[in-house]
Chains A and B, each alone.
Chain A
Amino acid sequence: MPRSLAYEMPVDSSFFTPLHLQPVAVCRLAFNGAGRWLDRHAISHRRLVAEHRTGFVFWSVQLVPGDPVGFFDADRLGVTVAGRVLGGGTQVACDVEVRGAAGRPTRVHAVCVPLGLDGGPALSGAPARLAPDVLSAFRADEIAARPHRSPLPGLLAAVAAGGSQVAQGHMPFVIHRHQCEVADQWFWPEAISLAGAGREELVLAQAAGTPALRLAMQVPMARLDVLFTRPFFLFDEGVVRSTAYEWGAGLAFVHELTAPGEQRPRALAIEQFAWD
């Protein structure tokens, strides 16, 4: 059976909105949990980078919130993490559950692409299959031949085809160092933060004419999908182009995070909100 790691995390108020756990906080907990799993069961993140010249870049993330959890519900959250290798070493996945005192947990499924680092001080690298010395740290039942395929392209096509566009807006941004990880490259949960900011700006600007948009501030998110194609770096400029659709039994917000002069978004995020 694949190994997992379970522990408790004392809460602080920054983990929460008035409605539920902050999606960004959950992703930060998931990243920290993945590091804990690696440290306990395989090779620490620091040693992977420093000794094995192996880094990771996040590629696909799905977040499915569970039953609402509030700051006043409990002193601790329960976190369970499991790590796996997919695609025969071309992907590394972590599955994280964050639970309150009762109810369904919030789940994160995140898939990274391993990088072979070039040994330089900028930690630059290129996608590469995990080396045998790293792969040997995983058990056989933690290595799958089949790769993960992101559900986001199919979801995007379904929303565009079956949804009804109700609003569109854009929000420029600049990446600063507090939004980056050690290599001056954005820390991947920033994409979720920027997408959420793009949605909130859209609601503030257009809810007077499109009241249905207010749903996205009144209820917790029902699901989040993110697909990364290229990172933003320190002082890179970008724009969040957000499009809201009435779709299914709620709203879907499609966020494209794009750099000036580029056609292809560097990250795509779809947030879904459901009417009760």
Chain B
Amino acid sequence: MMIRVSGALLRFTDYQRVISVDAPTVESALVKLAGDYQPLRKVLFDREGRVRATQRVFLNGEPLEPEQLASSAAGEADCVELLLAISGG
């Protein structure tokens, strides 16, 4: 699947906006992505390994709740989008 990254997350992926990841589910794709881009791990996941509530994940444009990530299968043609809704500086 393709993972699209934008905005405040770009600096954690070396400014790559579209990254191809081979994984069976959205959650496993995010884990693999964070393995390939280590700085992204602390951004996406909390200390317990859960996707942070401040991250919004979309599969082909549809928002996914955190509990849906593990059960959401995704194939080669699918697109996952990561969005940071708001930051506080």
Contacts and interface: CB of A to CB of B under 8 A. Distances in A.
Interface of A: 49, 54-57, 115, 117-127, 181-185, 230-236
Contact of A118 (B8, B11, B53, B89): B53
A126 B10 CA distance: 20
A17 B61 CA distance: 44
A266 to B, nearest CB: 11
A126 to B, nearest CB: 6
Interface in B1-23: 6-12, 17
Contacts of A57: 86-88
B54 interface: yes
A131 to B, nearest CB: 13
A236 B17 CA distance: 11
B53 A123 contact: no
Given A118-B53, A125-B54, A230 B10 contact: no
A124 B52 contact: yes
Nearest to B11: A184
Given A115-B86, A123-B87, A125-B88, A185 B39 contact: no
B54 A118 contact: yes
B52 A185 contact: no
Contacts of A230: 85-86
A152 B2 CA distance: 40
B7 A120 contact: no
B43 interface: yes
B52 A184 contact: no
B8 A122 contact: yes
Contacts of B25: none
Contacts of A117: 88
A126 B39 contact: no
B60 to A, nearest CB: 14
